[in-house]
Amino acid sequence: MKRNNAWAKYLLLAVGAFYALPMLAMARFSFQKVPVIKLGWSTLFKNWTIQPMIDSVTSDRFLEAGWLSLRLAFLSVLLSLLILVPTTVYVHVRLMKARAFVELLSTLPFVVPPIALVVGISSAMRSTIPSFLSSPFSLVPFYVVIALPFTFRSLDVGLNSIDLKTLVEASRSLGAGWMRTVSLVILPNIKAGVVSASFLTFAVVLGEYTVASLLLKFTLPAYLAEAQGNNPQGTFTVGLLLIVVTALLLGVTNRITRGKSQVVSTIGI
Amino acid sequence: MKTQQQVLKFSAARKSFGDVVALAGFDLEIAKGELVTLLGPSGCGKTTALRIAAGFEQPDSGTVELHGLDITNQPAHKRNMGMVFQNYSLFPHMNVTENVGFGLKVRGKEPAEREMLAIAAIDRVRLNGLGNRYPHQLSGGQQQRVALARALVFEPQVLLLDEPLSALDAKVRAELRDEIRLLQSEVGVATIFVTHDQDEALSISDRICIMKDGHVQQIGTPRDVYLHPANAFVARFVGAMNEIEINVSASSIASIGELQLDLQVSNISGPTAKMLLRPDAVSICQPGTQGSLNATVVGQHFSGATTMVRLRLDHNDTVVSALLVSRAVTVVEGEVIGVLLNTFEAIIERGND
């Protein structure tokens, strides 16, 4: 046992270093006013500054892209939940036979490359509703689809962890219709799943580049690509910022999910 | 037996799932304040009948009436029936008071009134002071009490109990069983109680409806179904039963070996038939006593006040059980004694019963 623990510790350290070293390097590159060639042990504590970050986060282009990405993220979360909460609940309560099929369907975005998705949809849309793709918000449906594997799974896990059938029947026998059963009984019990579905969608939208650039929309990742040329330090600070924000979101999700699952597991069946 | 106002009525309710007929023409009337138990082995249709009453299943044909109104197609949440489930069904994110108040909330009761009624209901199931607990902080028995309070607080017209005790351990089960009965008769609500446990059914019910393969076998008081079972299935399912092969002569005289039995067997075509007899209709005596059969004691099972003695009949090697008062049992294994059969309530099984 002891030896296993020691190995686990070393492994953890190695993995940690694997992730942390590039980030540290990135941090030095972004926040130190030292020519790249001189970055070394001797300059470790020299000329640290957050000026590049301030420059880039206050630039108009960043604000434009950031604002769009935020709105896209919120809308994608909203649309995902509006479509998926009723769907997964319906599947779990009435159509458990179809669950495997829906699950398979939800993994399609992993299999179909984003470029195929974009080409397919845009050629279909151009000939039917040409105005659709001109709005930047045309990205929302794409993001809902791309986030589908994560959103479906989060909600599915949430619904699996409760005795849904009994809770629904208890609620209905007590006089609650479907709307109130979903809002008063089901949603509070899959809160963890809803929160993690939301955060994951959020993270997907903040990081998605392929679709946005193919459709020529100016989102945060598109900004990063564009600004790399004239303000490399600035774009790296934004990149770091995105990583930290995303990591925080995932951390929060984890905490909420874990706290919840303890409560759920103790109710028994 | 109560013959008051009829509350719930099933008429020729049928339901199948695919090829399986769960309920084949189910008729039952339940009066106000009456507790009717649906008893039978799993797959007999008892749960389906309950779920049809609750509105969770639609019958393929037939009707369900509540106070004379056809509710067959009424959605579950409009039926005003309280239900307690086999699985713990409390809402995990609500405390006890909120759980109990849920039915009042969806009926639009004000928070203050809601809380008052909920607390009163919690007191009735003897959980005073536990209103702030969450379901995971309660024992199984306590959870089912809360579920009971929750199902009764909005004064439902019918109470539906779907094996509410089966997940509990024996002691709690017996305790809660008696409490359910007490509370149910205090409130005076028409109740359907589903169980596969015959002891539970016998001790709690006004009437028992015994079912098999979707068909009702017998509806009667616990005394009725135990002492006068309608057929061999009921006889075997409710209480223990001895099965002894008897000979039936052409002149309709039943006998076991030399011993002639005092039995009406005119409608049985011989030469043999099966006699079903309760262990408490078997007694022991000195060997050779008039009207007795010789047997050997092969074992005994002591359970306090009574002892179940296992006896092998010398005539045909059939092993029968005799339920005796422990004080009267002085036999030892291997001893040869006499067996007296009280055939007054015996059931004779026909060939294809």
* Nearest partner of B168 among B197, B191, B193, B192, judged by Cα: B197
pLDDT of B353 reads 40
Q: In the structure, what pLDDT confidence band is assigned to residue A20 with cuts at 50, 70 and 90?
A: confident
**Identity (one letter) of the amino acid at A60?**
D
Which residues of chain B are within 8 Å of residue A162 when distances are taken between CB atoms? 92
Q: Which whole number is the average pLDDT over B25-54?
A: 93
Closest residue of chain A to B55, computed from CA coordinates: A173
B77 contacts on A by Cβ (under 8 Å): 171-177, 181
Four-point Cα dihedral A170, A174, A175, A181, nearest 10: -40
d(CA B37, CA B190): 11
Does the beta-carbon distance from A263 to B77 stay under 8 Å?
no
Is B76's CB within 8 Å of A172's CB?
yes
> Considering only CA atoms, which of B305, B321, B324 is closest in space to residue B241?
B321
pLDDT in tens, B305-351: 999 999 999 888 889 999 988 888 788 888 999 999 988 878 887 65
pLDDT band for position B265 (50/70/90)?
confident
Nearest CB neighbour to B81, from listed A173, A267, A269:
A173
How far is the alpha carbon of A117 from chain B, nearest alpha carbon, in Å? 40
Q: pLDDT category, B2, cuts 50, 70, 90?
A: very low
Chain A touched by B189 (CB under 8 Å): no
Average pLDDT value over all residues in chain B: 89
Residue A260 has pLDDT above 80, yes or no: no
Instruction: Compare A260 and A32 and report the one with higher pLDDT.
Output: A32
Q: Which residue in B82, B88, B91 is closest to A173 by CB distance?
A: B82
For position A226, what pLDDT does the model report?
A: 83
The per-residue pLDDT for B194 is: 95
Give the whole-angstrom CA distance, residue A72 versus residue A25: 31
Question: Residue A269's pLDDT band (boundaries 50, 70, 90)?
Answer: very low
Partner-chain residue, chosen from B81, B85, B105, that has the shortest CB–CB distance to A170: B85
Report the pLDDT value the prediction gives residue B118, as an integer from 0 to 100.
93
Residues of B in contact with A267 (CB under 8 A): 88, 90, 92, 135-136
The string of pLDDT tens digits covering residues B149-185 is 999 999 999 999 999 998 888 888 989 999 999 999 9
Q: Is the ipTM of this complex over 0.95?
A: no
Average pLDDT for A90-109: 88
A119 to chain B nearest CA, in Å?
Answer: 45
For the ranges A24-28, A101-105, B66-70, which has the lowest average pLDDT? A24-28
**pTM of model > 0.80:** no
Q: How far apart are CA B297 and CA B290, in angstroms?
A: 19
- CA dihedral angle for residue B100, residue B105, residue B108, residue B110, rounded to 10 degrees: 80
pLDDT, residue A267, reads: 33
Structure confidence at residue A136 as a pLDDT band (50, 70, 90): confident
Whole-number pLDDT of residue A268: 32
In B135-234, the DSSP E strands lie at 158-162, 190-195, 207-212, 215-220
Distance from the Cα of residue A147 to its chain's centroid: 7
B173-176 long-range contacts, CB within 8 A, separation 24+: B173/B200, B175/B141, B176/B141, B176/B144, B176/B145
Query: Would an 8 Å CB–CB cutoff place B168 in contact with chain A?
Result: no
pLDDT of A2 > 60? The answer is no
* Residue A164 and residue A94 in contact, taking contact as beta carbons nearer than 8 Å: no
Rg (CA), chain B: 25
The interface residues of chain B toward chain A in range 49-68, judged by CB-CB distance below 8 A, are 54-56
pLDDT-derived band at A244, boundaries 50, 70, 90: confident
Q: Sorting pLDDT into bands at 50, 70 and 90, what band is B1?
A: very low
| Residue in the structure block whose two tokens are 């929309």 | A217
Say if CB A151 and CB A77 are below 8 A apart: no
**Residue A163 C-alpha, separation from nearest chain B C-alpha, in angstroms:** 8
**Minimum-distance CB partner of B102 among A162, A174, A189:** A174
Instruction: Give chain B positions within 8 Å (CB) of A186.
Output: none
The SS3 assignment for A94 reads: helix
Give Cα A167 distance to the centre of its chain: 30
The Cα angle at residue B131 between residues B125 and B137, in degrees rounded to 5: 95
pLDDT of residue B258: 79
State the nearest Cα–Cα gap between A200 and chain B, in angstroms.
24
As beta bridge partners, residue A238 has: none
Given this model, what pLDDT does residue A3 score?
Answer: 63
The pLDDT > 70 percentage for chain B reads 97
Evaluate if residue B24 carries a pLDDT over 70: yes
Cβ-based contacts under 8 A for chains A and B: 86
Inter-chain touch B83–A163, beta carbons under 8 Å: no
Contact B106 A174 (CB under 8 A): yes
Q: Mean pLDDT throughout A119-145?
A: 85
Predicted confidence at residue A25, as pLDDT, reads 84
| Alpha-carbon gap: A189 to the closest alpha carbon of chain B (Å) | 7
A186: closest chain B residue by CA: B91
C-alpha span between B300 and B130 (Å, rounded)? 46
Per the CB < 8 Å rule, is B75 touching A177? yes
Helix, coil or strand: residue B255: strand
Q: How high is the pLDDT of residue A57?
A: 80
Residues in chain A within 8 Å Cβ distance of B80: 175
- Partner-chain contact B77 A170, CB within 8 Å: no
Instruction: Quick: pLDDT tens for B44-103.
Output: 999 999 999 999 999 999 999 999 899 999 999 999 999 999 888 999 999 999 999 999
* Nearest Cα residue to B86 out of B53, B122, B120, B50: B50
On the question of pLDDT at B303 being above 80, the answer is yes
Alpha-carbon torsion angle B12, B16, B22, B27, nearest 10: -10
- Choose among A169, A181, A267: nearest Cβ to B135: A267
Q: How far apart are CA B185 and CA B296, in angstroms?
A: 48
Q: What's the mean pLDDT in A71-82?
A: 94
Per-residue pLDDT band for B232 (boundaries 50, 70, 90) equals confident
Q: Tell me the per-residue pLDDT of A229-242, one tens digit each, with 9 for 90 and over.
A: 777 888 888 888 88
Give the residue carrying structure tokens 């639009």: B108
Helices (H) and strands (E) in chain A, counts: 14, 0
pLDDT in tens, B186-225: 999 999 999 999 889 999 999 999 999 999 999 999 999 9
Place of tokens 């009406």: B264
Q: Please give the pLDDT value at position B352.
A: 43
Among A154-163, A186-195, A210-219, name the one with the lowest average pLDDT: A210-219
Q: Considering only residues B90 and A30, tell me which one the structure prediction assigns the higher pLDDT.
A: B90
Sheet holding B20-31, edge to edge: B20-31, B6-17, B61-66, B69-70
Give me the amino acid identity at B167.
A
Q: From the list B54, B87, B134, which residue is nearest A173 (CB)?
A: B54
Q: What are phi and psi of B177, to 5 degrees?
A: -55, -50
Alpha-carbon distance A168 to nearest alpha carbon in chain B (angstroms): 9
CA distance A234 to chain B (A): 46
CB B88 to CB A188 under 8 A? no
CB contact under 8 A, B91 and A169: no
Q: What is the pLDDT of residues B111-146, one digit of tens each?
A: 999 999 999 999 999 998 899 999 999 999 999 999
